[in-house]
Amino acid sequence: MLNNADILSNIPPLGGKEGAAGPHREVVARWRVPMYGKVYEIEFEHGTASGKRVLWIDKQEVFRRDWMFKLVGEDMFKLEDKRCIIRVDPMPGFRYSYSLFVDGKSYEQFTESQAKALKTWEAKLGDNFYRIVLEKNTLNIYVNGKLIEENGEFVDGGTDTTFLEDGNTFVLSARTGGNKREGIVHRLTVNGAEVFDAGGTTTVP
C-alpha cells in the first residue's frame, strides 16, 4: 500500500466553495474520519506543477496555499479538538504519497481505535435518516452528529436511555452480557422495532 489515502485519478470537479482559480479541483486524496458522532470527509488538493495545496472538509475550503516551491512536507489543521497533519512524501517517478495523521495516530490506527470505541446504528423512517452513535468510554449518544442530553434510567440488569426524534421513540439499552468476554451488550430500538448494527441501514416501517 502506497499511503493511507484513497488516491483519486480522473475525478470530475466536486462541489463546495470555488477557489480563485475557478471550479476545477485537483483532489488527489480523500479520507473519511469518524469523530464525535459525525463522519468528516477530508479532501486534499495538490498541484504538482505549482505546489498548490488546498484542504476541504465536508466540501468547505479550510485553507489554500498557492505557488509553493516545496512540493513535499506537512500541513497541520484542527478537526474538532484533534490536531491533524497531512504529509506529502516523494515517490519515484515524480509521484507523491499522501498520509493523514489524527491526534498523533495514523489514519488507519485512528479509525481502528474509533471502531472499537464507538457503536453505530443507522435507521431510515420514511424520508428521515438517523445515524446514532454511542461513545462507549463516555456513554455520550449522538444523533446525526448532535449530542443528546438524555440520561439513562436504571432497570433490571442495566440501563435504558429514551430519546425522541421527529416524534419517533428511540430506546438505547445496555445489559450485562452472558459472559465476561462479551461485556456490556447495547441494543437500539425505534418505535419498538430493533435497529441492527451489522453495517447496513435498518428501514423501519
Total of domains in the chain: 2
**Same-domain pairing of 72 and 98:** yes
pLDDT tens digits along 166-196 = 999 999 999 887 666 667 889 999 999 999 8
Q: Is the pLDDT of residue 67 over 50?
A: yes
Last residue of a domain, one of 41, 74, 103: 103
Give the CATH number, domain containing residue 54. Answer: 2.40.128.180
**Same-domain pairing of 152 and 191:** yes
In a domain, 162, yes or no: yes
The β-bridge partners of 125 are 128
Cα–Cα distance between 104 and 119 in angstroms, integer?
Answer: 23
In a domain, 113, yes or no: no
What pLDDT shows up at residue 60?
A: 95
End-to-end CA distance of the chain: 43
Place of cell 513535499: 72
Cα–Cα distance between 27 and 47 in angstroms, integer?
Answer: 9
Cα–Cα distance between 154 and 170 in angstroms, integer?
Answer: 16
In a domain, 164, yes or no: yes
pTM: 0.72
pLDDT class of 199 with cuts at 50, 70, 90: low
pLDDT class of 157 with cuts at 50, 70, 90: confident
Cα–Cα distance between 195 and 52 in angstroms, integer?
Answer: 45
Last residue of a domain, one of 75, 103, 131: 103
Contact 133, 142 (CB under 8 A): yes
User: Which residue, 159, 174, 163, is CA-closest to 130?
Assistant: 163
Cα–Cα distance between 46 and 96 in angstroms, integer?
Answer: 9
In a domain, 6, yes or no: no
pLDDT tens digits along 93-148 = 888 999 999 999 999 999 999 988 999 999 999 899 999 999 988 889 999 999 99
In a domain, 17, yes or no: no
Residue ranges making up the domain that contains 177: 119-203
If you average pLDDT over residues 38-65, what whole number do you get? 91
Percent of the chain with pLDDT over 90: 57
Rg (CA), the chain: 21
pLDDT class of 24 with cuts at 50, 70, 90: low
In a domain, 76, yes or no: yes
